[in-house]
Structure 1
Amino acid sequence: MRKALLPSLIILATSLLILRIFYLQIVDDTLKLKSENNAIKKKYEYPERGYIYDRKGVLMVANQASYDIMVIPRELKNTDTLELCQLLKISKEDFIKRIEKARIYSPRLPSVFLSQLNKSEFAAFQEKIRKYEGFYFQKRSLRDYEVNFGANVFGGITQVNEKLVAKNPYYNSGDLIGRQGVEESYEDLLRGVKGVKYIQKDKYNREIGSYKEGKYDTIAVQGEDINLTIDAELQKYGEELMINKRGGIVAIEPRTGEILALVTAPSYDPGILVGRQRSKNYTQLYHDSIAKPLYDRGLLAEYPPGSPFKILTGLVALQEGVIDENTSVSCNNGFSYARGRFMRCHCRGGSLQLHRGIYESCNSYFATAYMKTINKYTKPSTAVDVWSNHIKSFGLGQFMGYDLPTGKRGNIPDSKTYKRIYPNGGWRSTTIVSNSIGQGEVLMTPIQLANMMATVANEGYYYTPHIIKKIEGHKIDKKFTTKHTTTIDKKHFKPIISGLFDVYNMGTASALKVEGIDICGKTGTAENFAKIGGKRIQLKDHSIFVAFAPKDNPKIAIAIMVENGGFGSTIAGPIASLMIEKYLRQKITRIDLEKRILATSLQSQYAKLGGLSDAVKLQLRISDSLLNKRTIPAVRIKTDTSKVKKQVI
């Protein structure tokens, strides 16, 4: 038996090898086809990318025709370099550089020589392309923006780099890929599938027809259309209100977690990053280290949340049983505590209970509630972890899992945080009391603030914020319909909501009421420091406001952060009222607030950080243009796709 084992294994292995070789050489010749064969040329047909619509079916992003000049270096013959450079308006040095780059990539494979020619440029070169062997056109489609806002939402498309080409076999040199925004998040669906034609050539490199009569040819499959949760009118309005300001606005539908608006300021018209001028414009925006227009402040900017964080301080204290609605705290326009420091307050003072503590935003009340929470436990480290876990149940201090490619965790401190800061111990509730009012080590992004308010509006639960609403033929990721419940009992939200409602009736936002809409909100002001000339200087505070409406059956939750905006009720608060009315009524009655906010410019504040760069001036010109277009042009509703879409010629 043992003597037969080895010969049997050899015979079996040999038989399998022979069968595999027979299959590859006789039955299946696709590997032969796919290999680089001089007698076969691949021609790609690029599909249209999927169209992008808003939640109501407004077409926001379509496509337009574009042409790339491709080159195969080893096929270049007798090229009149001077004439070609004049025709394409490039220098001889640039020509040599582009050819050398293509040769390094591959002397036998096509690569992009000059990208994104428009129709007129294409027509001029098409007449003479036969004179230039080794060059040919590759038709593609670029984005055609139907709106002049939402650049941070859409992202953009750009050429793939060599690293990605080597990593992903789908892409070839010169292919386009989505970067940032929904273009990146949903690239696999939006890009479609390339079609391929295999052309046979003779020994003189002349095309003689389809390989195997087109047996292996495939047709291009158009990308999937997607509907975003964004409300186009609300997004546009938010960007108008933020002109000449810096910050972010995030609006969410509480019952679904759908993102209604995602505004970052300063922003830019997405159309400036399409075509031959893309590189120049992008370079300007990229190198603007002052305004950072490519930086999505709604998702990336981490700020101390200020007074809106008192909402969570109160909820945790109620849950831990250290206060109730009737707990009284005395405020003397300041709250004294250890180390000779005190916490200033702007309420009217006297004896306050929870309700008044909220609508007058009393620092003393919430500092007391926080310290009672920490002092409930023998060890401060245990207490702060209990507190931290409650706060994190609102989705804070961690990546939220939304369907956009960028984001920040924010920061919710725990015992490990303070062990690093105070390695010798000695810290207690008075040491970290600034957390109670959203200062200290607490950091949040605007989208986290908005989600916090959506959770309060829902009385204790939220859905992961997301920007995709519908994809034809596909289901939305299950994680966006999964309910997340906080560690706070539902009963504790009602007194907090009552206090937030009276912020608009008798509190810090009483001047911002909108007749007929019951709004619950909270003003906030966060201290703002910057390093200028090596010195830490306190600048004008950030203006913060969070809100939801209506009070019963809320339809929108919103957070606004305006850098250097001052008090929360000065700039962020009016923007919240205006955005809420715009969404719920599609019109504005508080014209006084609208005029004031549109006329407000904080550029003088930002100039203290280093002046205005050329990129900022470019953005301001775009903003002025945006301000003069107060309605969405040519709103198109998605009904029959074939009737709506533009033909790419």
Structure 2
Amino acid sequence: MRQLLLFFLIIIVGLTFIGRLFYLQVYTSSAHNLYEDNAIRKVYDYPKRGFVYDRNGKLLVGNQPSYDVMVIPREVKPLDTAEFCSLLKITKEQFIKTYEKAYRYSPRLPYVFIPHLSKEDYAVLQEKMRKYEGFYIQKRLLRDYQTQYAANVLGFIAEVTQSQIEKSPYYKMGDLIGKQGVELSYEEELRGVKGIKFIQKDRFNRDIGPYKEGKFDTLPQQGKDITITIDSKLQEYGEWLMKNKKGGIVAIEPSTGEILTLVSAPSYNPNLLVGRKRSRNYTKLHNDSIHLPLIDKSLLREHEPGSPFKALVALTALQEGVITTETAVSCSGVYHYGRNGKMGCHCGGGRRSLNLGIAKSCNSYFANAFRKTVDKYDDSHKAMDIWSNHIKSFGLGQYLGTDLPIGKKGNIPDGAYYDKWYPDFNWGATTIISNAIGQGEIQVTPIHLANMTAAIANRGYYYTPHIIKDIEGQEINKDFVTKHQTTINENHFEPVIQGLYDVYNKGTAHFLQVPGIEICGKTGTAENFTVIDGQRTQLTDHSIFVAFAPKDNPKIAIAVFVENGYYGARFAGRIASLMIEKYINDKISRTDLENWVLTHSLENEYQKPFSREPFKINAESQYQLIDLPEKLETVNKPVEAQNQTITIPANETNR
């Protein structure tokens, strides 16, 4: 028995050794474990990042070669730091700081010591790299923006953060990743897949050739090209019109939901965030607290919608059957409600039907329509839930589900919202009457307004606004071709659309007509408050305008928001009319509007909260983010500043 026990013990020990040898020879030779083998150097081969084209096939983003100086700290030998720093154009202090940072990251793993060498610097350094053990040059591609515009749309790429590395094992320290815009939204499609080479090292840590004759090496897979929905000519024109102004422009093709223009102003040249100066330039942009160029105002700027919201108030009242197209209200310039409530009106007074109510933007008419909608039900909570659901069916008060990386949901109040606001008060229509004219607790972004306008143009439906048109070898998200129906019956849209059409014919935008184009639009104003020295202070109102054209079979729906732009037709209305004509006719006949917009600056308005002294604008104080390359100076040069008194055309003060 003892002999058998000894025999079985020898057999078990032998099988254990054989199993372990088999594991070491077979499984630990796999590519998976090669990443952890210190005797093998990993060299990544970065793929070409996919190109980005506009809807008409114009190249917007390509690639350009770049060279990174890499370091493996434990392999660094004593070197002439003075010479090395001179070649890299850095100080000795920078050398020590970066080396210590690389060592803390890992003594054994590669680390980006100096990113983005120019071709000239690379040519000089390459010949001498053999002198600096532990350092080597890694080639990669940086973005090459073929446009000076659409920075907020395109985004930029930068090094991954530690948190991003922890979330995705694909990325290693020093890798580049999309940070904003389509570079972020479509990072996985654009980045491609890295290739890798495994280099065998000897016991002296010297490279001796490919591991296993390159058996586990992989080739890089190029990123996919994408086509976005933006019309680059229209985008450039929009940014041009918004010089010396703050705000956003969103234009959508109603029949598809494709975003034609996504302007955020002021903007910057996307090439400023490429190369070795990227970090310095980004800091300057980030620290601009007046203009906030890195904030996409077309997606993130929440504000009251003002009078454009009246179109939805009318549609909801028609759907609920509390008004008809013939319902009329007498306006004396003031709408009285409750015991002492008053709402002013700028429509000029008189008897207002639905058509004139929209065309003249009569506050009294829409206060009456809203009040009737809420008072239809005995329970105000229930009434507001019904009203809110109608409004939300146009995409307001929610994230739209776009393929843009950022956004805000805005706010459309319901019964629960006001129950919370007034827990000990029997609130009703007169308590919240400001909703009738797009003020109070309602909050929207410019893209909400553009989508709302597209739904009206379509007579009751919309497609999710999106920026992707085509991905090489891949279908786009099916959600972007799914129709979203509003809760309003189609037959209610025609009288409202006729009223929007008459805004241009006989209403608040009559002086903005464009020959040959039937435009439907609505002026709007949003009150603007800020805190100065601890006091809530009212500043100049924001200018808002929404429109679509042509009236039938619309090709474009647009929302324009200009901060501190006075009344709706003054800045936003002019810009919207010009954008529509540019897109439909590809030329401008209303050069009077164009010249007015280009020669009127709002910089005085933006400086008010930052200065107690009267601010006199001059050419030196104009908005310039960073010194621009010589070839771009004429394009980015601001319009010459001027002190002027702006004359308001007749009826333009109507909101």
Report which stretch shifted further, 527-536 or 474-483.
527-536
Residues 1:482 and 1:146: Cα distance change in structure 2 (over 3 Å): same
Query: What residue is the counterpart of 1:604 in the other structure?
Result: 604
The one-letter amino acid of 1:123's match is A
Where does 1:292-311 land on structure 2 (aligned, <5 Å)?
292-311=292-311
Query: What residue is the counterpart of 2:479 in the other structure?
Result: 479
- Return the offset for 1:20: 11
Query: What residue is the counterpart of 1:626 in the other structure?
Result: 635
CA distance in 2, matches of 1:542, 1:237: 21
* Percentage identity across paired residues of the two chains: 60
Contact 1:288 1:615 in 2 (8 A): no
The one-letter amino acid of 1:618's match is Q
Structure 2: tracts of 5 or more residues without a match:
1-14, 640-655
Write the deviation string for residues 80-103 of structure 1: whole angstroms up to 9, x where unpaired.
Answer: 122222222222221111011101
Where does 1:146-545 land on structure 2 (aligned, <5 Å)?
146-545=146-545
Query: What residue is the counterpart of 2:126 in the other structure?
Result: 126
CA distance in 2, matches of 1:81, 1:355: 79
CA distance in 2, matches of 1:398, 1:322: 27
Write the deviation string for residues 170-189 of structure 1: whole angstroms up to 9, x where unpaired.
Answer: 11110000011000000000
CA distance in 1, matches of 2:121, 2:462: 52
Contact 1:528 1:541 in 2 (8 A): yes
Write the deviation string for residues 17-56 of structure 1: whole angstroms up to 9, x where unpaired.
Answer: 9999957753673166424223211111111110000000
Write the deviation string for residues 91-145 of structure 1: whole angstroms up to 9, x where unpaired.
Answer: 2221111011101110000011111111112122222211111111111111111
Query: What residue is the counterpart of 1:3 in the other structure?
Result: none
CA distance in 2, matches of 1:294, 1:428: 41
Structure 1: tracts of 5 or more residues without a match:
1-14, 631-649
Specify the SS of the correspondent of 2:383: helix
Query: What residue is the counterpart of 2:651 in the other structure?
Result: none
TM-score normalised according to structure 2 size: 0.91
Specify the SS of the correspondent of 1:541: strand
- Return the offset for 1:163: 2.1
Query: What residue is the counterpart of 2:59 in the other structure?
Result: 59
CA distance in 1, matches of 2:479, 2:45: 35
CA distance in 1, matches of 2:64, 2:89: 23
- Return the offset for 1:425: 2.2
- Return the offset for 1:489: 0.4
Query: What residue is the counterpart of 1:554 in the other structure?
Result: 554
The one-letter amino acid of 1:191's match is R
RMSD of equivalent CA atoms: 2.2
- Return the offset for 1:147: 0.5
Specify the SS of the correspondent of 1:263: strand
The one-letter amino acid of 1:183's match is E
The one-letter amino acid of 1:226's match is I
Report which stretch shifted further, 435-444 or 26-35.
26-35
The one-letter amino acid of 2:380's match is P
CA distance in 1, matches of 2:470, 2:200: 43
- Return the offset for 1:169: 1.3
Specify the SS of the correspondent of 2:178: strand
Residues 1:267 and 1:17: Cα distance change in structure 2 (over 3 Å): farther
TM-score normalised according to structure 1 size: 0.92
CA distance in 1, matches of 2:16, 2:364: 81
Residues 1:270 and 1:339: Cα distance change in structure 2 (over 3 Å): farther
1:581 aligns to 2:604 (yes or no): no
CA distance in 2, matches of 1:267, 1:16: 67
CA distance in 2, matches of 1:231, 1:326: 41
Contact 2:623 2:638 in 1 (8 A): no
Contact 2:244 2:623 in 1 (8 A): no
CA distance in 2, matches of 1:28, 1:482: 50
The one-letter amino acid of 2:432's match is I
CA distance in 1, matches of 2:27, 2:82: 51
Residues 1:16 and 1:181: Cα distance change in structure 2 (over 3 Å): farther
Query: What residue is the counterpart of 2:647 in the other structure?
Result: none
CA distance in 2, matches of 1:616, 1:581: 29
CA distance in 2, matches of 1:88, 1:577: 52
Specify the SS of the correspondent of 1:618: coil
The one-letter amino acid of 1:578's match is L
Specify the SS of the correspondent of 2:609: coil
Residues 1:230 and 1:83: Cα distance change in structure 2 (over 3 Å): same
Count, aligned residues: 616
Contact 1:290 1:609 in 2 (8 A): no
Residues 1:87 and 1:615: Cα distance change in structure 2 (over 3 Å): farther
